[in-house]
Amino acid sequence: MKTNEEIKAAIEAAVPGAGVEIINNPSPSAQHSLLLQRETAFAVAQFLRDDAELAFDYLSNVTGVDWLDKEIVEKVKVKKTVTKTVDGVEQQVEETVDETRKHVEPGYLETVYHLYSMAKKHGPLILRLRTANRTDQVELPSFTPIWRSAEFQEREIFDLYGIVYTGHPDLRRILMWEGFKDHPMRKDYVEPDDFEYEPTAHDAVLKRAQEHQAKAASAQNGGAA
Protein backbone atom coordinates (compact mmCIF):
# COMPACT_ATOMS: atom_id res chain seq x y z
CA MET A 1 0.00 0.00 0.00
CA LYS A 2 1.13 3.56 -0.61
CA THR A 3 2.34 5.58 2.36
CA ASN A 4 0.10 8.18 3.96
CA GLU A 5 2.24 10.87 2.38
CA GLU A 6 1.72 9.34 -1.09
CA ILE A 7 -2.02 8.94 -0.52
CA LYS A 8 -2.24 12.53 0.70
CA ALA A 9 -0.47 13.74 -2.45
CA ALA A 10 -2.77 11.64 -4.66
CA ILE A 11 -5.87 13.05 -2.92
CA GLU A 12 -4.71 16.65 -3.27
CA ALA A 13 -3.97 16.11 -6.95
CA ALA A 14 -7.44 14.67 -7.55
CA VAL A 15 -9.54 16.87 -5.24
CA PRO A 16 -8.66 20.59 -5.44
CA GLY A 17 -8.55 22.24 -2.03
CA ALA A 18 -8.83 18.92 -0.18
CA GLY A 19 -6.66 20.18 2.68
CA VAL A 20 -5.66 16.76 4.02
CA GLU A 21 -3.52 16.64 7.17
CA ILE A 22 -1.51 13.67 8.44
CA ILE A 23 -2.09 12.94 12.14
CA ASN A 24 0.79 10.95 13.60
CA ASN A 25 0.14 8.29 16.21
CA PRO A 26 3.01 8.09 18.73
CA SER A 27 1.85 4.77 20.20
CA PRO A 28 3.58 1.44 19.35
CA SER A 29 0.88 0.71 16.76
CA ALA A 30 1.99 3.77 14.78
CA GLN A 31 -1.30 3.76 12.91
CA HIS A 32 -1.12 7.26 11.48
CA SER A 33 -4.27 8.77 9.99
CA LEU A 34 -5.52 11.36 7.54
CA LEU A 35 -7.62 14.25 8.84
CA LEU A 36 -10.12 15.38 6.20
CA GLN A 37 -11.88 18.72 5.91
CA ARG A 38 -15.65 18.60 6.29
CA GLU A 39 -16.25 20.50 3.06
CA THR A 40 -14.27 18.12 0.82
CA ALA A 41 -14.49 14.85 2.79
CA PHE A 42 -17.20 13.28 0.61
CA ALA A 43 -15.29 13.94 -2.61
CA VAL A 44 -12.10 12.56 -1.02
CA ALA A 45 -13.92 9.41 0.08
CA GLN A 46 -15.27 8.87 -3.43
CA PHE A 47 -11.76 9.20 -4.83
CA LEU A 48 -10.34 6.69 -2.33
CA ARG A 49 -12.99 4.16 -3.32
CA ASP A 50 -12.85 4.71 -7.09
CA ASP A 51 -9.13 5.25 -7.71
CA ALA A 52 -7.75 2.24 -9.59
CA GLU A 53 -4.56 2.01 -7.50
CA LEU A 54 -6.09 2.62 -4.08
CA ALA A 55 -9.52 0.95 -4.52
CA PHE A 56 -10.63 1.21 -0.88
CA ASP A 57 -13.82 -0.75 -1.43
CA TYR A 58 -14.47 -1.87 2.16
CA LEU A 59 -15.17 0.18 5.28
CA SER A 60 -14.68 -2.10 8.29
CA ASN A 61 -15.58 0.04 11.28
CA VAL A 62 -16.55 3.53 12.37
CA THR A 63 -15.78 4.99 15.79
CA GLY A 64 -16.91 8.10 17.62
CA VAL A 65 -14.68 10.16 19.93
CA ASP A 66 -15.58 13.04 22.25
CA TRP A 67 -12.86 15.62 22.89
CA LEU A 68 -13.72 18.01 25.73
CA ASP A 69 -12.52 21.59 25.99
CA LYS A 70 -8.86 21.57 27.06
CA GLU A 71 -7.06 24.17 29.12
CA ILE A 72 -3.59 24.83 27.74
CA VAL A 73 -0.96 26.18 30.13
CA GLU A 74 2.26 27.43 28.60
CA LYS A 75 5.24 29.49 29.62
CA VAL A 76 6.29 32.30 27.33
CA LYS A 77 9.18 34.73 27.54
CA VAL A 78 8.13 38.38 27.63
CA LYS A 79 10.03 41.61 28.01
CA LYS A 80 9.07 43.75 30.98
CA THR A 81 10.34 47.00 32.42
CA VAL A 82 11.26 46.62 36.08
CA THR A 83 12.68 48.98 38.65
CA LYS A 84 16.07 48.03 40.06
CA THR A 85 18.47 49.75 42.43
CA VAL A 86 21.98 49.95 41.01
CA ASP A 87 24.68 51.60 43.16
CA GLY A 88 21.99 53.14 45.30
CA VAL A 89 20.15 54.61 42.33
CA GLU A 90 16.75 53.35 41.12
CA GLN A 91 16.73 52.61 37.40
CA GLN A 92 14.19 51.31 34.87
CA VAL A 93 15.59 48.11 33.38
CA GLU A 94 14.12 45.93 30.63
CA GLU A 95 14.29 42.21 31.42
CA THR A 96 13.08 39.00 29.80
CA VAL A 97 10.97 36.99 32.22
CA ASP A 98 8.90 33.80 32.08
CA GLU A 99 5.16 34.34 32.19
CA THR A 100 2.50 31.63 32.53
CA ARG A 101 -0.44 31.99 30.18
CA LYS A 102 -3.61 29.95 29.92
CA HIS A 103 -6.12 29.53 27.12
CA VAL A 104 -8.92 27.09 26.38
CA GLU A 105 -8.79 24.93 23.26
CA PRO A 106 -12.42 24.27 22.22
CA GLY A 107 -13.55 20.65 22.16
CA TYR A 108 -15.04 18.78 19.23
CA LEU A 109 -16.54 15.44 18.22
CA GLU A 110 -14.67 13.12 15.90
CA THR A 111 -15.44 10.19 13.62
CA VAL A 112 -12.74 7.66 12.75
CA TYR A 113 -13.09 5.38 9.71
CA HIS A 114 -10.98 2.30 8.88
CA LEU A 115 -10.76 1.45 5.18
CA TYR A 116 -9.45 -1.63 3.40
CA SER A 117 -9.16 -2.74 -0.20
CA MET A 118 -10.44 -6.24 -0.86
CA ALA A 119 -9.42 -5.90 -4.51
CA LYS A 120 -5.83 -4.82 -3.79
CA LYS A 121 -5.53 -6.59 -0.42
CA HIS A 122 -4.18 -3.62 1.49
CA GLY A 123 -5.13 -1.45 4.46
CA PRO A 124 -6.06 -0.14 6.85
CA LEU A 125 -6.24 3.50 5.86
CA ILE A 126 -7.56 5.54 8.78
CA LEU A 127 -9.60 8.69 8.16
CA ARG A 128 -10.68 11.31 10.70
CA LEU A 129 -13.43 13.93 10.51
CA ARG A 130 -13.99 16.56 13.19
CA THR A 131 -16.98 18.75 13.98
CA ALA A 132 -16.60 22.49 14.49
CA ASN A 133 -17.57 22.17 18.17
CA ARG A 134 -19.55 20.00 20.62
CA THR A 135 -22.68 22.14 20.83
CA ASP A 136 -24.42 23.64 17.84
CA GLN A 137 -22.08 22.74 14.95
CA VAL A 138 -21.94 18.96 15.05
CA GLU A 139 -22.59 18.09 11.39
CA LEU A 140 -20.34 15.82 9.32
CA PRO A 141 -20.96 14.32 5.87
CA SER A 142 -22.20 10.73 5.89
CA PHE A 143 -20.10 8.11 4.12
CA THR A 144 -23.05 5.70 3.90
CA PRO A 145 -23.75 6.56 0.22
CA ILE A 146 -20.14 5.50 -0.53
CA TRP A 147 -19.74 2.52 1.83
CA ARG A 148 -23.03 0.96 2.91
CA SER A 149 -21.36 -0.61 5.96
CA ALA A 150 -21.24 2.88 7.51
CA GLU A 151 -25.04 3.05 7.85
CA PHE A 152 -25.67 1.41 11.24
CA GLN A 153 -22.33 2.52 12.67
CA GLU A 154 -23.00 6.18 11.90
CA ARG A 155 -26.45 5.76 13.42
CA GLU A 156 -24.86 4.39 16.59
CA ILE A 157 -22.49 7.36 16.81
CA PHE A 158 -25.37 9.77 16.16
CA ASP A 159 -27.27 8.08 18.99
CA LEU A 160 -24.47 7.93 21.57
CA TYR A 161 -22.36 10.98 20.68
CA GLY A 162 -24.74 13.33 18.86
CA ILE A 163 -22.89 13.75 15.56
CA VAL A 164 -25.38 14.59 12.81
CA TYR A 165 -24.43 12.90 9.52
CA THR A 166 -25.77 14.93 6.62
CA GLY A 167 -26.79 12.79 3.67
CA HIS A 168 -27.43 9.69 5.78
CA PRO A 169 -30.46 7.80 4.40
CA ASP A 170 -32.00 6.85 7.77
CA LEU A 171 -30.49 8.84 10.64
CA ARG A 172 -32.34 7.89 13.83
CA ARG A 173 -31.52 6.34 17.18
CA ILE A 174 -30.45 2.71 17.10
CA LEU A 175 -29.67 1.79 20.74
CA MET A 176 -31.58 4.33 22.81
CA TRP A 177 -35.27 4.87 22.23
CA GLU A 178 -36.87 7.81 20.46
CA GLY A 179 -37.43 10.59 22.95
CA PHE A 180 -34.34 9.75 24.99
CA LYS A 181 -32.49 12.92 25.96
CA ASP A 182 -28.79 13.56 25.49
CA HIS A 183 -26.03 11.21 24.29
CA PRO A 184 -24.70 8.63 26.81
CA MET A 185 -21.15 8.32 25.43
CA ARG A 186 -20.40 12.02 25.82
CA LYS A 187 -17.70 12.49 28.46
CA ASP A 188 -19.79 15.07 30.31
CA TYR A 189 -23.00 13.01 30.24
CA VAL A 190 -24.76 12.94 33.61
CA GLU A 191 -26.97 9.94 34.38
CA PRO A 192 -30.47 10.87 35.54
CA ASP A 193 -31.52 9.86 39.05
CA ASP A 194 -34.96 8.74 37.87
CA PHE A 195 -34.78 5.15 36.68
CA GLU A 196 -38.49 4.41 36.42
CA TYR A 197 -38.02 3.90 32.68
CA GLU A 198 -35.29 1.25 33.13
CA PRO A 199 -36.52 -1.89 31.29
CA THR A 200 -34.18 -4.28 33.17
CA ALA A 201 -34.23 -3.23 36.81
CA HIS A 202 -31.04 -4.62 38.36
CA ASP A 203 -30.31 -4.18 42.08
CA ALA A 204 -28.19 -1.04 41.70
CA VAL A 205 -30.80 0.52 39.43
CA LEU A 206 -33.61 -0.37 41.83
CA LYS A 207 -31.71 1.19 44.74
CA ARG A 208 -31.27 4.44 42.85
CA ALA A 209 -34.91 4.41 41.77
CA GLN A 210 -36.03 3.89 45.38
CA GLU A 211 -33.82 6.78 46.52
CA HIS A 212 -35.34 8.98 43.83
CA GLN A 213 -38.86 7.97 44.82
CA ALA A 214 -38.13 8.69 48.50
CA LYS A 215 -36.82 12.16 47.63
CA ALA A 216 -39.86 12.84 45.46
CA ALA A 217 -42.24 11.70 48.22
CA SER A 218 -40.42 13.82 50.81
CA ALA A 219 -40.61 16.88 48.55
CA GLN A 220 -44.31 16.26 47.90
CA ASN A 221 -45.09 15.91 51.64
CA GLY A 222 -43.13 19.04 52.41
CA GLY A 223 -45.01 20.91 49.72
CA ALA A 224 -48.37 19.71 51.06
CA ALA A 225 -47.46 20.87 54.55
Q: What global pTM score does this model have?
A: 0.79
Domain membership of residue 142 (yes or no) is: yes
Total structural domains in the chain? 3
Q: Residue 21 forms beta bridges with which residues?
A: 35
pLDDT per residue as tens digits for the range 47-61: 999 999 999 999 999
Task: Mark whether 38 and 80 lie in a shared domain.
Answer: no
Domain membership of residue 28 (yes or no) is: yes
Domain membership of residue 32 (yes or no) is: yes
The neighbour count for residue 141, using CB atoms within 10 Å, is 22
pLDDT per residue as tens digits for the range 69-119: 998 888 888 888 878 887 778 888 788 888 888 888 999 999 999 999 999
Task: Mark whether 18 and 37 lie in a shared domain.
Answer: yes
Domain membership of residue 177 (yes or no) is: no
Q: Residue 82 belongs to what domain range?
A: 71-104
Count of positions (residues) in the chain: 225
Task: Mark whether 94 and 77 lie in a shared domain.
Answer: yes
d(CA 203, CA 200): 10
Task: Mark whether 119 and 207 lie in a shared domain.
Answer: no
Domain membership of residue 217 (yes or no) is: yes
pLDDT at 225: 45
DSSP conformation letters of 185-210: TSTT----S--TT-SS--HHHHHHHH
Domain membership of residue 76 (yes or no) is: yes
Domain membership of residue 174 (yes or no) is: no
Task: Mark whether 91 and 198 lie in a shared domain.
Answer: no
Q: What is the CATH number of the domain that holds 13?
A: 3.30.460.80
* pLDDT surpassing 60 at residue 197: no
Give percent above pLDDT 90 in the chain. Answer: 64
Give the model's confidence band at 144: pLDDT under 50 very low, under 70 low, under 90 confident, else very high.
very high
Give the model's confidence band at 187: pLDDT under 50 very low, under 70 low, under 90 confident, else very high.
very high
| CB proximity list for 30: less than 8 A, separation 6 or greater | none
Of the candidates 120, 142, 141, the one whose C-alpha atom is nearest the C-alpha of residue 50 is 120
Task: Mark whether 160 and 210 lie in a shared domain.
Answer: no
Q: Greater confidence, 59 or 211?
A: 59
